């Protein structure tokens, strides 16, 4: 800041990303910021990507809109535009709420928000060729103009979608983006993606199916994903294989079962 205030703008790393017309104004802004900081003595400074124009538009919203979570609102709008069914996305939010509780996975308030947003964004790449869905979805999320999310949170959202399409054990995915998130969030991205890979196979993005898939505790410490008898035709080797991936990433013994019918332990 001092360097810019002195007019040494060209020495600032990354200055080439600022248009030449604006560079000449930076020292004035830096001096103003210095004076504001000296007068207010803030404990910390938060840099916002939003400005006066966004603030004015925000002031025009009604009270209910102002209270809405901007990240969830943006994710839901993208789901409406690009997903097969926003209702299925909401089913996924509710189902993963219950799944995380069943697995005993604790979350902070922001982690739960990010999971909800990831669920809303889970199907935005379905129109793309299968070979590119993960990469395209990751790029959309990584560069979308979301607010209400930090860099680790954005990395979590993007990686969850990439893992959902390209596989949870694919270590070649987005090496640079992975550096933005701590190990805890990277692990959560894999867990959530593994759950998505199970339920998208069973539901084919059809709303109303997921609420019928229940988690039940078994006496041997296992968790069973129970299909109702009316969905017994979905029981088989492929969903069991997806459940085995979830078992591996969570280190839990899991069972795929049909209510009143067959079952198979995958760990």
Q: Which of 185, 210, 235 is the last residue of a domain?
A: 210
Rounded to whole angstroms, the Cα distance separating 198 from 180 reads 27
Looking at the structure, tell me whether residues 80 and 206 fall in a common domain.
yes
Whether residue 11 lies inside any domain: the answer is yes
Last residue of a domain, one of 210, 226, 257: 210
Whether 6 and 40 map to the same domain: the answer is yes
101 and 8 share a domain?
no
> Would 13 be classed as within a structural domain?
yes
Give residue 81's pLDDT band: very low, low, confident or very high (50, 70, 90).
very high
**Per-residue pLDDT for 114 more than 90?**
yes
Give the bridge partners for 227, in sequence order. Answer: 258
Q: What is this structure's pTM? A: 0.86
Whether residue 97 sits in one domain with residue 22: no
**Same-domain check for residues 140 and 196:** yes
In a domain, 43, yes or no: yes
Answer yes or no: is 194 within a domain: yes
Same domain, 266 and 179: no
Using CA atoms, how far apart are residues 237 and 153, in angstroms rounded to an integer? 34
Among the three residues 194, 210, 226, which one is the final residue of a domain in this structure? 210
Claim to verify: residue 93 and residue 146 sit in the same structural domain: yes
Residue 6 covered by a domain: yes
**60 found inside a domain:** no
Structure confidence by residue, pLDDT tens digits, 176-189: 999 999 999 999 99
Position 267 pLDDT exceeds 80: no
239 plus 206 within the same structural domain: no
The model's pLDDT over 129-156, given as tens digits with 9 standing for 90+, comes to: 999 999 999 999 999 999 999 999 999 9
Residue span of the structural domain in which 31 resides: 2-47
In a shared domain, residues 171 and 231: no
**Shared domain check, 206 and 87:** yes
Same domain, 187 and 134: yes
Burial of 207 (0-12, 13-18, 19+ CB in 10 A): middle
How many domains are there within the chain?
3
Residue 169 covered by a domain = yes
Q: pLDDT (tens digit, 9 = 90+) per residue, 41-58?
A: 999 988 887 888 888 999
Q: Which residues pair with 216 in a beta bridge?
A: 224
Question: For residue 55, is it within any domain?
Answer: no
pLDDT higher than 80, residue 208: yes
CATH of the domain at 79: 1.10.3210.10
| Calpha distance 235→264 (Å, rounded) | 10
Mean pLDDT to the nearest integer, 63-91: 97
If you write DSSP's letter for every residue of 79-126 in order, what string do you get? HHHHSS-HHHHHHHHHHHHHHHHHHT----HHHHHHHHHHHHHTTTTT
Tokens of 257: 């079962």
74 shares its domain with 181? yes
pLDDT of the residue at 31: 95
Residue 155 pLDDT: 97
214-217: strand order across its sheet:
214-217, 223-227, 254-258, 263-265
């Amino acid at each position: 800041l001092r360097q810019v205030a002195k007019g040494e703008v060209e020495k600032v790393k990354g200055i080439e990303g600022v248009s030449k017309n604006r560079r000449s104004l930076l020292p004035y802004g830096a001096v103003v910021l210095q004076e504001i900081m000296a007068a207010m003595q803030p404990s910390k400074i938060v840099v916002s990507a939003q400005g006066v124009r966004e603030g004015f538009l925000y002031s025009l919203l009604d009270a209910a809109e102002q209270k809405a979570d901007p990240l969830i609102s943006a994710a839901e709008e993208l789901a409406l535009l690009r997903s097969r069914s926003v209702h299925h996305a909401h089913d996924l939010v509710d189902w993963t709420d219950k799944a995380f509780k069943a697995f005993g996975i604790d979350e902070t308030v922001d982690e739960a928000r990010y999971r909800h947003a990831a669920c809303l964004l889970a199907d935005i790449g379905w129109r793309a060729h299968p070979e590119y869905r993960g990469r395209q979805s990751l790029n959309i999320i990584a560069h979308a103009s979301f607010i209400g999310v930090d860099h680790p949170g954005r990395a979590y959202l993007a990686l969850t979608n990439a893992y959902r399409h390209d596989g949870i054990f694919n270590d070649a995915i987005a090496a640079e983006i992975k550096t933005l998130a701590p190990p805890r969030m990277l692990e959560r991205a894999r867990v959530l993606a593994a759950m998505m890979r199970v339920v998208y196979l069973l539901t084919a993005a059809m709303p109303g199916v997921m609420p019928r898939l229940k988690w039940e505790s078994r006496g041997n410490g296992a968790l069973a994903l129970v299909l109702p008898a009316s969905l017994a035709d979905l029981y088989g080797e492929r969903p069991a294989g997806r459940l085995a991936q979830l078992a591996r990433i969570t280190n839990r013994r899991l069972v795929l079962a049909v209510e009143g019918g067959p079952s198979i332990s995958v760990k």
